[in-house]
Structure 1
Amino acid sequence: MKPPALLRLALAGTRTDTARVLLTAFSAALAALAAFAALNVLAIPTPAATDENAGRWSEQYSHALLREPGLRGGTAFALVLLTIPVLALAGQCARLGAPARDRRLAAFRLAGATPGQVTRLAMVETGVASLLGTLTGLALYLVGRELLDRPDERGQLALPTDVLPHGGAFAAVVVGLPLVAGLSSALMLRPVITTPLGVTRRAARERGPGPWAGMLIVAGVAGFIVGWPVMLGRTVDGPYVGLALVLLIGGGLAAMFGIVTGTGWISYTTGRLLRRYARHPAALLAAGRLMSDPWAGSRAFAALLAAVTFGAGAAALRSYFVTQDRLMREESRVAGGEVGDNPFYLSTISLVDLAVAVALVIAATGLLVAVVEGIVARRRSYTALVAAGVPRGTLGWSIAWQAVLPAVPAVLLALTVGTVLGRAFFGDVVRGSSTYAVCEASEALCADPATREQYTRITESAALRAVPDVPLEQLALLGAGALAGVLATVGIGLLFLRSSTATEELRTT
């Protein structure tokens, strides 16, 4: 098949196929913007050390996250993490209208296309949509860079608009994201058999998932807890630092993966309990759907749970810094002085909270796409139930039940694991003993060098240790926001139920 024909067939289809391409391009544009922002932060040059600037700070920026060289890596890493919910949104968008696309691919097979050609068609569709999105993201980045290049009254910039990443980095993002998207489509199509008579899976799941995801969570948290003391007990070039990094990164990823995959077991178990104890038709319909496809929850809630876990860790980190500031003030009062609040760390955590809120909004958008895709994919089944006398309200309640019931324990699990990881990362707040010189006289006597020494007393403050409080209020707000997002997306998705259950859908081929 020639490339022009392959491209024309890949982009052909109905309005649903066009919507899928546009939504995939939108997700790729968001991911590209986050990647370009991370590259922009890494491209900031570090000045040479001087007597006036021993820390090699980039003084042309107003925020310390950009000025200090040691903080740029973490800032770039946080921006890269922001692409996770965006890529999950892209995965949900790629599933939109999947039944119609399957029938179109089966028609290609009926016309003589080979299975490899059909797979390449799906790859080209996703790749072209992602390429369109990355190019749009590049254009938005360049335009925004010019619009936001506005120094303040001190001549400092709020964003690194005075530097540009290397051209090779731009090319890597513009080409790499569509390539990864196309290869991911091919990977997801491996268990799919496209025949002239339809699209089927190679194997069906005969029993529900086991609770093995709990073992992943326990192992991940344990590795994270063990890795951090090893890191603190060794120098940067010590022999166990590599092992500690593996335990920290691997433990965090294993715990998060366990949360996401554990939603499958939660969905299946919830379906079993509903089938056993529920009496309402909507709950029984939801139980059947949860048991027949328990992994739908893992796919739909993946980005949401990742954002909740990260947000809970940030809330635990904020509690640590609040406790640290409190101990510093107590230590200062003992020494006879007064220390004001240090807003740097708390303001930085506020930026992290903003990133978590953006991630939750993106994740909720992906969940909305998943709900709409589920309604559209099963519209013939829902139409048959409506034709048999089942009220649309009952179907709506069943869809709401199957979305909300697994979400509640999954969000609670994500909040718990995120808090434990954040608590284990820093531990208790400890302030060592310190020696202070306190002048016990009037301000005039203390200011005079000739009389200050005779009124000066050396005092030593004891070591202070405090356990950070559990940020229950912030965790409650985070969990309530996540569940409110689930309810809002389900409510919006149900607007498509009436149009998808028209009796004409029974004659759809």
Structure 2
Amino acid sequence: MLRLALAGTRTDGLRVALTAFSALLATLAILAALTVIAIPELPYPDAPGQFRHNEHYANPLLDEPGLRFGTALTLLLLTIPVIALAAQCTRLGAPARDRRLAGFRLAGATPGQATLIAVAETGLAVLLGAAAGTGVYFGLRVPLDRTDASGLRALPTDVLPPTPAIAGVIAALPLVAALAAALLMRRVAIGPLGVVRTARRKRGPLPWPGVLIVLGLISFSSLVPVIRWFTERESEPPLWLLNLLGIGGAVIAMLGVVLGTGWISHASGRILHRFERFPSALLAARRLTNDPWHGARTFAALLACVIVGGGAAMMRGYFEIQRELELRSMENDAPRYAYEGDNFYLESMNLVDLAIVAAVVIAAGGLLVAVSESIVSRRRAYAALVASGVPRGVLARSVLWQALAPTVPSVLLALAVGTQLLWSFTGTEVSNYGLSAPFTVPWDTIASYGVLAVAAVAASVGISLLFLRGSTAVEELRAT
């Protein structure tokens, strides 16, 4: 089974390699988060419920006990675009793999055996990537284990996650990947004459994901009233309730945005078909209405990054005005310059912005793979259009229309949801040292995230168009 799973052409080898590389990145991110969590908490001798600084690390994000959870959570969020990249890589060269699976069926394999071979290919690729990522993690610990003049480390290279946790990551990633592949193939019939998938729904998607967005926003915005209600009664809210309202609400809202892309794609296709008269826009409109869920599959990770970016922009504005209020409250007691160097939270947001940009780049890589695969898989249709007289430039513009038409409104929706999630914390007033000031929305930072996302999509589509000329050759009409 393993030999058959790794058999195939260079495209199959490239698919396995890219999937393994994505699993390597995900393994590094997860192990880094587990390492941050493994940093020991040091309680005060006279205050058992409170913890002091570790005093082993130069970075306050690792040294302060109250900030390590957020650091670990940010590292885990980086795995979202990486996993999406792996999902897109598994579709690379899918038509050739389908023909190979059909050949197995023609040689006598049962449908279950053919499906098992396809699932084993994904699981084995992820297993190789997870093992390689673990090797890279341990290999980098020694050269990165350095201390500065004060004896402080830049990274937590002196601690290790528990051995069962490391083994669990290596075992869980390929298992989850194999189960996801099996789930995606539940409606696929592998026969000796080819791979048959169930027909897509005839009607367009409904806007029901908007309900998820509203429920998620209501759940997240109720955090502050719930905490205030418990505080007024001199008690602490249960942790499970805070996680349910906060994390659960954010996940539900994010899921609503991703699933709502299908409706946005369908609506964008209908609008293009109704008002545009250019051939490229009409071709893109037909693609969008025929397969509106294509955008939900390809833009999911990118939209998740945009949502996080919108929330990060609101937090940056919150920290900026807090610092301004602190300076105003201190200027009568000490010179202003004495407090201008206290930019810890703003510098921490710079690291968050860097992580979001890296996540957007990784998501753009997954989008590049998806669009390139879409062009190659439709090469017969594109070749037929060129043979009938359609210029290649029209086809290139249609691919760009198909990508950008649902992307722009989806990015705007993701930014609106991300900023609204944090509005309950930052939108009313910022109080500090007895002073208050209205919160101003950082429109420039929010707009920069939107421009970055749209530019990443445009750049990915532009690079993928390099495959269009080879995919529109007349000889492709003979391809099976």
Q: Does 1:211 align with 2:182?
A: no
Secondary structure, aligned partner of 2:189: strand
Q: Does 1:225 align with 2:224?
A: no
- 1:51-70 to 2 correspondence within 5 Å? 55-70=51-66
Q: Matches of 2:438 and 2:145 in 1, distance apart? A: 43
Amino acid at match of 2:474: T
Q: Does 1:44 align with 2:44?
A: no
- 1:260-275 to 2 correspondence within 5 Å? 260-275=258-273
Q: Matches of 2:32 and 2:331 in 1, distance apart? A: 43
2:257 corresponds to: 259
CA contact under 8 A between 1:234 and 1:240: conserved in structure 2?
no
Q: Does 1:496 align with 2:473?
A: no
Higher deviation after alignment, 244-253 or 396-405: 244-253
Higher deviation after alignment, 107-116 or 405-414: 107-116
CA contact under 8 A between 2:92 and 2:369: conserved in structure 1?
yes
Q: What is the CA distance between 1:418 and its match in structure 2?
A: 0.6
Q: Does 1:9 align with 2:4?
A: yes
- 1:342-357 to 2 correspondence within 5 Å? 342-357=342-357
Q: 2:293 aligns with which of 292, 295, 317?
A: 295
- 1:142-291 to 2 correspondence within 5 Å? 142-234=138-230, 238=236, 242-291=240-289
Give the TM-score, by structure 2 length.
Answer: 0.95
1:407 corresponds to: 407
Q: Matches of 2:358 and 2:146 in 1, distance apart? A: 24
After TM superposition, where is structure 1 displaced by more than 6 Å over at least 4 residues in a row? 51-54
Higher deviation after alignment, 196-205 or 232-241: 232-241
CA contact under 8 A between 1:131 and 1:174: conserved in structure 2?
yes
Q: What is the CA distance between 1:14 and its match in structure 2?
A: 1.2
* Count of residue pairs the alignment pairs up: 475
CA contact under 8 A between 1:382 and 1:501: conserved in structure 2?
yes
CA contact under 8 A between 1:230 and 1:240: conserved in structure 2?
no
Instruction: Please give the per-residue CA displacement for 1:239-264, whole angstroms capped at 9, x wherever unaligned.
Output: 66533431222211111111111111
Q: Does 1:487 align with 2:458?
A: yes
Q: 1:120 aligns with which of 110, 116, 122?
A: 116
Q: What is the CA distance between 1:229 and its match in structure 2?
A: 2.1
Q: Matches of 2:435 and 2:7 in 1, distance apart? A: 68
1:416 corresponds to: 416
Amino acid at match of 2:267: T
CA contact under 8 A between 1:50 and 1:56: conserved in structure 2?
no
Q: What is the CA distance between 1:119 and its match in structure 2?
A: 1.5
2:478 corresponds to: 507
Q: What is the CA distance between 1:237 and its match in structure 2?
A: 6.5
CA contact under 8 A between 2:56 and 2:63: conserved in structure 1?
yes
2:449 corresponds to: 478
Distance verdict in 2 for CA 1:240–1:172, change over 3 Å? closer
Q: Matches of 2:7 and 2:235 in 1, distance apart? A: 56
- 1:333-344 to 2 correspondence within 5 Å? 333=331, 338=336, 340-341=339-340, 342-344=342-344
2:19 corresponds to: 24
1:450 corresponds to: none
Consecutive unaligned residues of structure 1, counting only runs of 5 or more, are: 1-5, 435-462
2:428 corresponds to: 428
Q: Matches of 2:307 and 2:419 in 1, distance apart? A: 8
Distance verdict in 2 for CA 1:398–1:58, change over 3 Å? same
Instruction: Please give the per-residue CA displacement for 1:12-65, whole angstroms capped at 9, x wherever unaligned.
Output: 111111111011001000000001101111111223535899842111100111
Q: What is the CA distance between 1:419 and its match in structure 2?
A: 0.8
Secondary structure, aligned partner of 2:202: coil
1:309 corresponds to: 307
CA contact under 8 A between 1:320 and 1:429: conserved in structure 2?
no
Q: Matches of 2:223 and 2:111 in 1, distance apart? A: 47
Q: Matches of 1:154 and 1:51 in 2, distance apart? A: 27
Amino acid at match of 2:409: P
Q: What is the CA distance between 1:70 and its match in structure 2?
A: 2.1
Q: Matches of 1:252 and 1:52 in 2, distance apart? A: 34
CA contact under 8 A between 2:43 and 2:51: conserved in structure 1?
no
Amino acid at match of 1:283: A
CA contact under 8 A between 2:41 and 2:51: conserved in structure 1?
no
1:377 corresponds to: 377
Q: Matches of 2:414 and 2:363 in 1, distance apart? A: 14
Larger radius of gyration between Structure 1 and Structure 2: 1
CA contact under 8 A between 2:18 and 2:89: conserved in structure 1?
yes
Q: Does 1:390 align with 2:390?
A: yes
Secondary structure, aligned partner of 2:195: strand
Instruction: Please give the per-residue CA displacement for 1:193-249, whole angstroms capped at 9, x wherever unaligned.
Output: 212222222342101111111121111111111133213432597466533431222
Give the fraction of aligned pairs with identical amino acids, expressed as a percent: 56
Amino acid at match of 1:77: L
Higher deviation after alignment, 225-234 or 92-101: 225-234
Q: What is the CA distance between 1:411 and its match in structure 2?
A: 0.7
Secondary structure, aligned partner of 2:66: helix
Q: Matches of 1:244 and 1:491 in 2, distance apart? A: 44
Higher deviation after alignment, 393-402 or 161-170: 161-170
2:437 corresponds to: 466
CA contact under 8 A between 1:263 and 1:297: conserved in structure 2?
yes
Amino acid at match of 1:59: E
CA contact under 8 A between 2:430 and 2:439: conserved in structure 1?
no
Secondary structure, aligned partner of 2:230: coil
Secondary structure, aligned partner of 2:299: helix
Amino acid at match of 2:185: L
CA contact under 8 A between 1:228 and 1:248: conserved in structure 2?
no
RMSD (Å), alpha carbons: 2.0
Q: 2:98 aligns with which of 102, 118, 132?
A: 102
2:126 corresponds to: 130
CA contact under 8 A between 2:227 and 2:237: conserved in structure 1?
no
Q: Matches of 1:97 and 1:206 in 2, distance apart? A: 27
